[in-house]
Structure 1
Amino acid sequence: MHIAEETKERHTLAVIVDNEPGILARIAGLFTARGYNIESLTVTDISEDDAISRITIVTSAAPRVMEQIIAQLDRLVPVHKVSDLTALGPHVERELALVKVAGIGDHRIEAMRLAEVYRASVVDATIGSFVFEVTGSTEKIDTFVALMREVGLVEVARTGIVAISRGKDAA
């Protein structure tokens, strides 16, 4: 079977790197140069002395291509460790979104009702609009945003996915 014929699978990668200028561009460039799409990308410092960062990358690829991606990431000099959280087993993924909705009357009431159902918090409110904060799976956020389109969606800002493996061991 050719690589192009293999089924693409979604993978969440945790990449531990030196926190230095240009590393994110090098990693993104690796994906771009090889035609791999990054669906979500988040970065955070994880050390007390600001020396180490964790990059969480969500991408979809066939199994053989995923192996190549991981091997190529692992060869980059400032990369300490690459973990495929998807392959390692159970892990927790979450995303945060800020969702601005404008509306009055029934639309305003419906937006508040839906926000309650989705456990979204109001973080800003004016006479004519709300900004909701909602966290959860990508699917939950996608559904909440779709529902808000029906009642006056204005704008959405999303963090991207953060993920961590379950259990006592680090990825």
Structure 2
Amino acid sequence: MEQKHTISVLVNDQPGVLTRVASLMGQRGFNIDSITVGQSEEPGLSRMIIVTRGDDNTIEQIMKQFHKLIDVLKVQHLSSGQMVSRELALIKVEATPGTRSEIKGIIEPFRASIVDVGPVSLVVQVTGDSEKVDALIELLMPYGIKELSRTGVTAISRGAATLARV
């Protein structure tokens, strides 16, 4: 059964590594739902968080292929265990003076905030798991979403498990 998987990849912070990882996925016919890359806890290393869909065999193949890349140091299938994942979204929504209080009431339970107010729009910032972000977007759609920007998922394993170079 095809499901969503989150993979953490620790790589050398070198030009072209992101391109090689993305190319590998594309060449093998694997789609990337989201990818985030940033510095890790160790200087000179970056952490990639890749969300993709597939069955267990597909994910196993992806992880084996990652291990073959020269700048890949470690690979961890985060969604096979306990993890914390978050996403950030900025949502520009149409807002008249009459609808602003309604919108504020909608975003409050999501612990979202208004980060910009324009004459005919608001920019709402929300963080949380993808389902929470999706739910808020759905509730704001009737007001008119003018623009939407999402970061993609970032994640880390819970507890003592780490993806550090040892």
1:67 to 54, 57, 60: 60
**2-side partners of 1:129 and 1:27: how far apart?**
38
- Indicate yes or no: 2:146 matched with 1:157: no
**Structure 1 residue ranges (4+ consecutive) displaced by more than 4 angstroms after TM superposition:** none
- Indicate yes or no: 2:78 matched with 1:85: yes
Letter in structure 2 aligned against 1:142: D
Is the CA contact (8 Å cut-off) linking 1:101 and 1:129 kept in structure 2? yes
User: 1:100-121: per-residue Cα shift (whole Å, max 9, x none)?
Assistant: 1122144322211111121111
Match of 2:113?
121
**2-side partners of 1:156 and 1:145: how far apart?**
9
Return 5+ residue gaps in structure 1 as ranges.
1-6
User: 1:1-59: per-residue Cα shift (whole Å, max 9, x none)?
Assistant: xxxxxx1121100000001111101000011011101011000011453x110000001
- Indicate yes or no: 2:124 matched with 1:132: yes
Identity of aligned residues (%): 42
- Root-mean-square deviation (CA, aligned residues, Å) is 1.2
**1-side partners of 2:41 and 2:109: how far apart?**
37
Letter in structure 1 aligned against 2:161: D
Letter in structure 2 aligned against 1:129: S
What SS is found at the alignment partner of 2:159? Answer: coil
- Indicate yes or no: 2:30 matched with 1:36: yes
2:87 to 92, 95, 101: 95
**2-side partners of 1:61 and 1:119: how far apart?**
32
Letter in structure 1 aligned against 2:36: T
Return 5+ residue gaps in structure 2 as ranges.
none
CA shift, 1:137, in A, is 0.9
What SS is found at the alignment partner of 1:150? Answer: helix
Number of residue equivalences: 163
CA shift, 1:152, in A, is 2.3
- Indicate yes or no: 2:5 matched with 1:11: yes
**2-side partners of 1:70 and 1:139: how far apart?**
25
Q: Comparing 70-79 with 101-110, which one deviates more in the overlay?
A: 101-110
**2-side partners of 1:145 and 1:155: how far apart?**
11
Using the size of structure 2 for normalisation, the TM-score is 0.93
